[in-house]
Amino acid sequence: MSLVVVGSFGLDTVETPFGRREEVLGGSAIYFSLAASMFTTVKLAGNVGSDFPESAWRTLDDRGAVRTGIRVFNDQPTFRWSGRYEGDMNEAETLRTELNVLAEPPHVPEDYRGSDFVFLANMGPDTQLEMLEQLQGKTVFADTMNLWIDTQRENLVRLLQRLDGIILNDAEARALTGEANLIRAGEALLRMGPRVAVVKKGEHGSFLFERDFHFALPAYPTSQVVDPTGAGDSFAGGFLGSLAEMGELSPAKLRKAMAFGTVAASMTVERFSTEGLEKAAREQLEHRYAELREFVHFEA
């Protein structure tokens, strides 16, 4: 089934204990779509400057992604982010953010409308609401961040009422709901509107909350975390990409999608920038999926 993603495409400068990379591919939508495109046709929407390298699209083009929704601005540069990770690398220290082209709302082509699945990556909830209106997707998931919880709570609450699913991290889930206990936070998210709430916990795995069941997974056990940038968006891409391929939100499919999100994120963190996801093939995801099953298996 079709999957539209609206979000950021950017150039990152990243420093981790394993090295430094300047002006490498980044942005929520690039990670999301590189992961999701291993499962289904992804239609991209977002803004870039003319300085965004053409080579950035190569893998996505190979994987059949549609990019008529990418607006190229000649008068403004691409979004840039720079950050640093230290110690256990669970959190990035942001050194610089330059919104540039992201100051303009994305444009969505007419033929993106009515898509089976839509992912509204991290953007202002006002823009997300506008995109939701424009896109009229059948099943809509969104991400958010602490900044919007603090500055646009009302819009975010309105958005949540109209979403099928929310994907966010544990600190955000706690901040948004005011619940310190994560199980309560998940249940509170469902009361705010969405049918599904996915809470990502970085190296500690992820939770899924749905009216009728809860589900959790540890992260895929990788001994080589080189650059965690984009792990959450890769998770979302593997999750929604595989859901779009499976075509329904049943408990069994949601569980499988969580596992695919988990393994997609593991490919990302093992290399800098998008290298892990670009090198990855569906076959490897399936292999790690099977390993992850074994990893959590215990007998009755």
Residues that bind its own copies (CB under 8 A): 17, 87-89, 174, 180-184, 187, 201, 203-205, 207, 213-218, 221-225, 252, 255-256, 258-259, 290, 293-300
Q: Which is nearer to its own copies, 30 or 89 (CB)?
A: 89
Instruction: Quote the least distance from Cβ 217 to its own copies, whole Å.
Output: 7
DSSP codes of every residue in 256-293: HHHHHHHHHHHHHHTSSTTHHHHH--HHHHHHHHHHHH
How far apart are the C-alpha atoms of 174 and 290, rounded to whole Å? 32
Q: With respect to its own copies, which residue has the nearer C-beta, 138 or 191?
A: 191
- Closest Cα partner for 220 from 268, 170, 169? 268
CB of 91 to its own copies, least distance (A): 13
Residue closer to its own copies by CB (options 6, 199) is 199
Q: Closest distance between its own copies and the C-beta of residue 100, in Å? A: 34
In the complex, the smallest distance separating the C-beta of residue 165 from its own copies, rounded to whole angstroms, is 17
Given the complex with its own copies, which of 109 and 218 has the nearer CB atom?
A: 218
Token pair belonging to 133: 């209106």
In the complex, the smallest distance separating the C-beta of residue 206 from its own copies, rounded to whole angstroms, is 9
121 half-sphere exposure, CB direction, 13 A CA radius:
27
Torsion on CA atoms 37, 10, 289, 210, rounded to nearest 10:
-90
Q: Give the chain's end-to-end CA distance (angstroms, integer).
A: 36
| Nearest CB to its own copies, comparing residues 1 and 216 | 216
3-state secondary structure of 202: helix
